[in-house]
Amino acid sequence: MEFLYPRVEHLFRLTDDTGVLQHSKFSVPDPNFGYTTDDNSRALIVAIMLYKNYKEERYLNLIYRYSSFLLNAQTEKGNFRNFMSYNRVFLEEEGSEDSFGRAVWSLGFGISEKSLPINLRNLYKEMFIKAMNHIYELKSPRSKAYTILGMYYAQKDLSLNLFEHVRNLAKSLVRQFRENVDSSWRWFEDIMAYSNAVLPLSLLISYRILRDKMFLEVGLDSMEFLEKIVFRNGYFKPIGCKGWYVRGGKIAEYDEQPIEASEMVLLYKEAYEILKDVNYITKAKETFMWYHGKNSKRICLMDPETGGCYDGINETGVNLNQGAESIISYLIAYLSMRELIGLRQEAMIS
């Protein structure tokens, strides 16, 4: 698998002087749906990854754009508003817990990246510390998981002592897991819905920080349960968003979303980095190839004309819209696979 240079034109197409627009109609940015903190947080992570890898000024410009959006989205209390209309008016006083977690993830990621200008990293640190006031109010397991990801990166700044915060959030996820599991159901809730891979991912990361084997064991247990479901047909097929998978029910076949493949790649990358088992690299490749036709419809989700990523797989083929979450998810998966292959090559040389 070769990784040359990613196609990024659709990310630029969706980005204006406010931030990244949430949706498109086919490949045309659709102002009717405005912007979200969710998308701008993940876009910031992508822009930082691109700048780290390629050191181009245009990516630094994107970083400033998305950083400004998040600065505007954070409230005086430290949490984040999520939905913004096209005329730059936030539509709520406080966004979802998931948008909070994703914002914290992006801020931590920015704090850790030494190639960024110090003023940007100082901003992320200030915003991150302000956000920490809310971490023990979180109820959503995904918000806790994304927040752990953010703390993992932020704790690389030695002036931030986040170990107990990570421990407390990770223990709450383990507790939730144990309250819900039985011999045939190894999950954190009675439903497997969206962004599933981030839950075991956060526990593997907690193990990496704290070396508490309880986090590794539950992380691997839930990861293996998830992969049995998403590889049930011999190739990656995420749980569909039209009904999800409720305990005792049927697995929803469609719509399959690009974010699920992206976060599954991140999960396998982390598993490889901890356990050094090359099988995880193989599984990451299999997951990544979902975008390129190894899926239930044998259709490539990448538009060769626009460089965009289609919004998912449905009963009849693909959703031809090319929104922000889709291209951002693809680029995170692409750049993570690039890093993973590099790690493997380094290990073989050493």
pLDDT digits (tens, 9 = 90+) for 262-316: 999 999 999 999 999 999 999 999 999 999 999 999 999 999 999 999 999 999 9
Query: Is it the case that residue 143 has pLDDT exceeding 60?
Result: yes
Query: Is it the case that residue 347 has pLDDT exceeding 80?
Result: no
pLDDT of residue 346: 67
From 20-34, 71-85, 197-211, 336-350, the region with the lowest mean pLDDT: 336-350
Neighbours of 176 (CB within 10 A): 18
Backbone angles phi, psi at 137, to 5 degrees: -90, -10
pLDDT of residue 241: 96
> Among 271, 178, 277, which Cα is nearest to 220's?
271
Region at 83 (left for phi over 0; alpha for psi -120 to 50; beta for the rest): beta
> Among 23, 27, 51, 22, which Cα is nearest to 37's?
22
Query: Is it the case that residue 350 has pLDDT exceeding 60?
Result: no
**Rounded mean pLDDT of 322-328?**
98
pLDDT of residue 2: 58
CATH topology of domain 34-161: Glycosyltransferase (1.50.10)
pTM of the model: 0.96
Query: Is it the case that residue 91 has pLDDT exceeding 60?
Result: yes
